[in-house]
């Protein structure tokens, strides 16, 4: 069965950009709920309990239809939050590094233009969801948003960066100001981690 992953930093470590109370609730309540609901969905299907959450959501076609939506929503919820939280760091912020920096320059015309397009995609996305920098099959970077807890993994693309657009990710500090929450997310984003996602198959 799945258990809630640990965070590699304290709840107050990302202050003032992400406030401790929102982060704690986000991890111990919202993310825990997705873990619990994923376990409930898989209760009668022990053969799927052995897979990683990433494996579960990458190939949803093999999931029995009666639990497929629950696995999509809650498995996606667990996988997306695990990636999201692990890409944040008290030492984050700054600019892209390494091969990813070069690819962002080549694709978007520089980091500032990338940041503008990414933020515009985030603020333009209707309702809850996620905004991503993904890599497609042809090795091309793209900015995309997904509804609910869908992941680029479900569409044969590889996530490089992800920012949570659900209000629960920023409600106590930023309230309705999604754009401000994305600006603060960039201030704690670990670009070394993004570089590893980009370079590792």
Q: CB of 20: closest distance to Mn ion in angstroms?
A: 16
Looking at beta carbons only, is 161 or 169 nearer to Mn ion?
169
Q: Which is nearer to Mn ion, 101 or 169 (CB)?
A: 169
Does residue 164 interact with Mn ion by CB under 5 A? Answer: yes
C-beta of 26 vs 141, nearer to Mn ion: 26
CA–CA gap between residue 90 and residue 182 (Å, rounded):
16
Run of H or E including 80: helix 76-86
Minimal distance in Å, beta carbon 6 to Mn ion?
A: 17
Q: How many residues bind Mn ion (CB under 5 A)?
A: 3
Distance CA(18)–CA(101), nearest Å, equals 25
Stretch that binds Mn ion, among 40-48, 92-100, 119-127, 166-174 (CB under 5 A): 166-174
Cβ-based nearer residue to Mn ion, 48 or 166: 166
- State the SS3 of 102-145: HHHHHHHCCHHHHHHHHHHHHHHCCCCEEEEEEECCCCCEEEEE
Q: How far is the CB of 112 from Mn ion (least distance, A)?
A: 27
Cβ–Cβ < 8 Å for 80, 130 = yes
Q: Smallest distance from the beta carbon of 72 to Mn ion, in angstroms? A: 16
**Residue 139 CB burial class (10 angstroms; 0-12, 13-18, ≥19):** exposed
Contacts of residues 126-129 at CB distance under 8 Å and 24 or more positions apart, as own/partner, are 128/165, 128/166, 128/167, 129/165, 129/166
Minimum CB separation of residue 70 from Mn ion in Å reads: 17
Do 151 and 159 form a contact (C-beta atoms < 8 A)?
Answer: yes
Q: Hey, which residues between 77 and 136 contact Mn ion (CB under 5 A)?
A: none
Indicate which single residue of 11, 114, 166, 191 sits in contact with Mn ion (rule: CB under 5 A). Answer: 166
Smallest gap from residue 68 Cβ to Mn ion (A): 21
Give bridge partners of residue 159 from the DSSP assignment. 134
> Contacting Mn ion (CB under 5 A), which of 38, 41, 169, 182?
169
Q: Residues in the site for Mn ion, rule: CB under 5 A?
A: 164, 166, 169
């Amino acid at each position: 069965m799945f258990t809630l992953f640990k965070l590699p930093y304290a709840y107050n470590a990302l202050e003032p950009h992400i406030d401790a109370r929102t982060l704690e609730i986000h991890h111990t309540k919202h993310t825990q709920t997705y873990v619990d609901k994923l376990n409930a969905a898989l209760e009668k299907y022990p053969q799927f309990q052995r897979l990683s959450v990433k494996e579960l959501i990458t190939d949803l076609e093999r999931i029995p239809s009666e639990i497929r939506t629950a696995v999509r929503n809650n498995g996606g919820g667990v996988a997306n939050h695990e990636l999201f939280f692990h890409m944040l760091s008290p030492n984050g912020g700054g600019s892209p590094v390494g091969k990813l920096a070069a690819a962002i320059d080549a694709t978007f015309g520089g980091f500032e233009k990338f940041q503008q397009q990414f933020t515009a995609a985030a603020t333009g996305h209707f309702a809850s969801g996620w905004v991503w920098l993904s890599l497609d099959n042809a090795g091309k970077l793209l900015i995309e948003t997904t509804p609910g807890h869908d992941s680029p993994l479900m569409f044969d693309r590889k996530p490089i960066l992800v920012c949570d657009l659900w209000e629960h990710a920023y409600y106590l500090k930023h309230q309705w100001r999604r754009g401000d929450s994305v600006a603060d997310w960039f201030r704690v984003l670990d670009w070394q981690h993004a570089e590893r996602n980009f370079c590792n198959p």
